[in-house]
Amino acid sequence: MMSFRKWFGSKPEGEQAALKLDADNIPNHVAVIMDGNGRWAQKRGLPRVAGHHSGMKNVKKITMAANSIGVKVLTMYAFSTENWKRPKEEVDYLMKLPMEFFPKEIDELIANNVQIRMTGWPEGLPNYTLKAVQDAIDQTKHNTGLILNFALNYGSRKEMLNGIQRLAQDMKENKVAADEVDEALFSKYLLTDPLPDPDLLIRTSGELRISNFMLWQLAYSELYFTDLCWPEFTEPHFYEAIGEYQRRARRYGGL
């Protein structure tokens, strides 16, 4: 078992958990349902949006932690197609976060070779939100390290229906024959293409559900739930989740 001692050996506290990880068994793709921002704030007598702000800052910490152990793709569920149901003020606040996050963090993300991506529908997002994300995508497109993928205005059922509509159109135009439609081909019609399926899904805040997130892609992902709210889920907790992943036996229906 290769350890991370050479990288973390001299670093304090938080990284000690990383030392215990098997460097040969790091999940390629970790997806996170960042839940519990509102409850985190309310517990502290703060407005819900304060929780979103704190949660935003946590994205950077967990990105660096994932990068440091060699995760290849980190998908962060930031806004679902269902989150439009929330009060307008809260939605407006969330939509402004990319304009704060990216300019503040982009230099460090670039220095760490991180590539920004987005999975979700641009339609419906304010122009300023899209511009902030698109600028970050453009500025990091030549990077070759960790892919930090934001699921923004994303919903899995809509993704699958939209994929089926495009597939049906291609079949009608004789670009695809019915017997060619297999799992690999269908995956190409999903918004996540060409990313690999998540190996590990983490959901914070104690909710035990998937909330319309990557229903196809999570078929064989390991699921990790924690009662911690997203703003309090820090680096040692992330390494703990990876450690738990490493203790699981992935069988894919075999023995």
* 209 labelled binding-site residue: yes
CB 114 within 8 A of CB 67: yes
For the record, the structure tokens of 65 come out as 């932690």
Name the minimum Å distance from CB 90 to ligand IPE: 8
Out of 18, 31, 33, 176, the only residue in the binding site for ligand IPE (CB under 6 A) is 33
Give the angle subtended at the CA of 235 by the CAs of 74 and 207, to the nearest 5°: 70
* 227 catalytic per annotation: no
CA torsion 182-187-225-240 (nearest 10°) is 100
Residue in this structure with the two tokens 């990383």, named with its chain if needed: 18
Name the minimum Å distance from CB 35 to Mg ion: 4
Q: Which stretch binds ligand IPE (CB under 6 A): 14-22, 111-119, 164-172, 204-212?
A: 204-212
Dihedral over Cα of 216, 197, 244, 251: its sign:
positive
Out of 15, 35, 159, 222, the only residue in the binding site for Mg ion (CB under 5 A) is 35
* 83 catalytic per annotation: yes
* 221 labelled binding-site residue: no
What span, in angstroms and rounded, lies between the C-alpha atoms of 85 and 212? 14
Catalytic residue, chosen from 83, 143, 162, 212, is 83
Q: Which residues belong to the active site?
A: 35, 83
* Site for ligand IPE, rule CB under 6 A: 33-39, 77-80, 83, 94, 205, 207, 209, 211
